[in-house]
Each structure stands twice: as C-alpha cells, then as structure tokens.
Amino acid sequence: DAKTTQPPSMDCAEGRAANLPCNHSTISGNEYVYWYRQIHSQGPQYIIHGLKNNETNEMASLIITEDRKSSTLILPHATLRDTAVYYCIALGTGGYNKLIFGAGTRLAVHP
C-alpha cells in the first residue's frame, strides 16, 4: 500500500475552511484515499474516501489531483469540535484488512 505524507500540525480559525493536504505520490491505480480523524482519547472516526473523483459528504470534501499523487481534505466551516488528529491513508482493494495509520496531522481550531 502507498505511503502517505502529511504535515504534523496545522491551525485554523473557527468558521474558516480547513484544508488538510496529503501526499501519496506512489499510489497505484486501485488504491483508495481514506480520511479518518481522532479526537483525544477516542476511537478514530471515518470521514470520507475516494478513488479518482472528488467526493463530498455531510462532514467534508475530498479533492484528489488528476494524477492522484496528492489530495486535500476540506472542512468547509471548521468548529472547535473539529480539533483532532487527521489521518490520510491510501489502501488498495487487496489490503482492506490492513489499514495502517501513520502520525497524521494535528489540527487545532482556535476562536
């Protein structure tokens, strides 16, 4: 499965959009990009996933570049409750049973 690279930390003002980047330059054609987040001392929570096309749900939007080597998770109107560690993972169809979480990006939303 492709390795992903994320910045260790980011800040965002409450009410503004939070744009979290992820680099997955070695991603292969059948690997999906998944995003999860973890609020302190809780289990991670699924946010969104995509393969090629941009995706949107009630929580966030996922923008994947045309060459699929990077993606951006967008929280359109960040709130204080969005403060968490965000994990970007690239996973192929044969590897659904081995989701591996790296260190992620620690997002701090401030008033």
Partner 1 sequence: DGGITQSPKYLFRKEGQNVTLSCEQNLNHDAMYWYRQDPGQGLRLIYYSQIVNDFQKGDIAEGYSVSREKKESFPLTVTSAQKNPTAFYLCASKVDRGPGELFFGEGSRLTVL
What does R_g of the chain's alpha carbons equal in angstroms?
A: 13
Pattern 3-42, partner 1, x by CB under 8 A: -----------------------------x-x-x----xx
Task: Please tell me whether residue 86 binds partner 1 under the rule CB under 8 A.
Answer: no
Task: Please tell me whether residue 99 binds partner 1 under the rule CB under 8 A.
Answer: yes
Beta pairing, strands 105-110 & 9-13? parallel
Cα separation, 11 vs 110, in Å, equals: 7
Task: Please tell me whether residue 46 binds partner 1 under the rule CB under 8 A.
Answer: yes
Amino acid at 70: S
Closer to partner 1 by CB, 16 or 56: give it: 56
Tokens of 53: 């096309």
Cα separation, 104 vs 17, in Å, equals: 19
**Which residues contact partner 1 (rule: CB under 8 A)?**
32, 34, 36, 41-46, 49, 51, 87, 93, 96-104
